[in-house]
């Protein structure tokens, strides 16, 4: 996919990353992901009142709702076009990030001259940084692998790297559509909005956690850990007090390489 072209990964061991980039491309192109991106790129926002009991009932926020019908071939084509627009304005950079942070999307950090911006640009370009530590571990494991088959630990690294790319790309897409306001638009009726988690939930049914666990989203545990780190989350109501987690067998992770989803 155009977004993951070698020129967009400066100073990276591209061969080592390639399986993760292929998996990320496959994930981005699955039907659920296409519905997500069609909604982000092209569906109009709907004004909603904050819920009763929020003390701001008379204020409004904006949300986007996916269409209640299958996505059309033409819509898929338009989504792919938007992806390639984004690809022309953003790169993925290695960076020392706080421990536990896999990636980060900086809006308006891309080195693009907006005065000569390309047709169709509406919001802000982004740059995505990925954690040097996670990258170094992956590359080391790749070069240690002599088998023809990818080992399970390396496959897990690839899944996590692909997940990080897709997660951060959904932030970039929201900034691309709405500029700085991209972090404010709520996804459907979710009380908490975080574009990356919204995308993961659309594709996997929850957040793919590090320990091969799928976490419910919107969920209070993830919300609290984000808020402790000082991250911003858009909240339009009260999330459920308890979370659900599902253990994922290793086979679930590995089958991403084999079956369609």
Binding region for Zn ion (CB under 5 A): 196
Shortest distance (Å) from residue 147 CB to Zn ion: 34
Shortest distance (Å) from residue 223 CB to Zn ion: 12
32 or 76: CB nearest Zn ion: 32
- DSSP structure class, residue 188: T
Shortest distance (Å) from residue 249 CB to Zn ion: 26
196 or 219: CB nearest Zn ion: 196
Asked whether the beta carbons of 248 and 227 are under 8 A apart, the reply is no
196 or 206: CB nearest Zn ion: 196
91 or 193: CB nearest Zn ion: 193
Shortest distance (Å) from residue 231 CB to Zn ion: 8
Alpha helices by DSSP H, listed for 113-151, are 132-144
The beta-carbon contacts of 87-90 under 8 Å, at least 24 apart in sequence, are 87/1, 87/2, 87/3, 87/5, 87/8, 88/118, 89/118, 89/121, 89/125, 89/126, 90/3, 90/8, 90/125, 90/126, 90/127, 90/128, 90/172
Asked whether the beta carbons of 218 and 239 are under 8 A apart, the reply is yes
How far is residue 72 CA from its own chain's centroid?
22
230 or 251: CB nearest Zn ion: 230
């Amino acid at each position: 996919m155009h977004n993951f072209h070698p020129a967009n990964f400066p100073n990276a061991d591209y061969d080592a990353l390639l399986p993760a980039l292929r998996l990320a491309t496959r994930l981005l192109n699955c039907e659920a992901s296409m519905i997500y991106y069609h909604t982000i790129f092209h569906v109009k926002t709907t004004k909603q009142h904050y819920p009763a009991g929020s003390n701001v009932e008379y204020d409004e926020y904006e949300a986007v709702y996916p269409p209640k019908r299958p996505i059309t071939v033409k819509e898929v084509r338009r989504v792919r076009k938007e992806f390639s627009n984004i690809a022309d304005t953003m790169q993925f950079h290695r960076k020392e990030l706080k421990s536990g942070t896999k990636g980060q999307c900086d809006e308006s950090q891309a080195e693009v001259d907006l005065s000569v911006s390309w047709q169709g640009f509406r919001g802000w370009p982004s740059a995505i940084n990925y954690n040097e530590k996670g990258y170094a571990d992956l590359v080391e494991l790749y070069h240690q692998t002599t088998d023809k088959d990818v080992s399970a630990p390396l496959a897990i690294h690839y899944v996590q790297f692909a997940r990080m790319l897709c997660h951060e790309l959904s932030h970039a897409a929201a900034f691309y559509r709405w500029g700085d306001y991209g972090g404010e638009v709520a996804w459907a009726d979710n009380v908490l909005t975080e574009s990356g988690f919204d995308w993961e939930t659309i594709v996997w049914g929850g957040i793919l956690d590090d320990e091969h666990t799928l976490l419910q989203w919107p969920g209070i545990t993830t919300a609290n850990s984000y808020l402790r780190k000082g991250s911003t989350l858009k909240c339009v109501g009260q999330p459920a007090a308890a979370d659900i987690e599902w253990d994922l067998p290793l086979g679930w992770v590995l089958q991403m390489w084999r079956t369609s989803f």
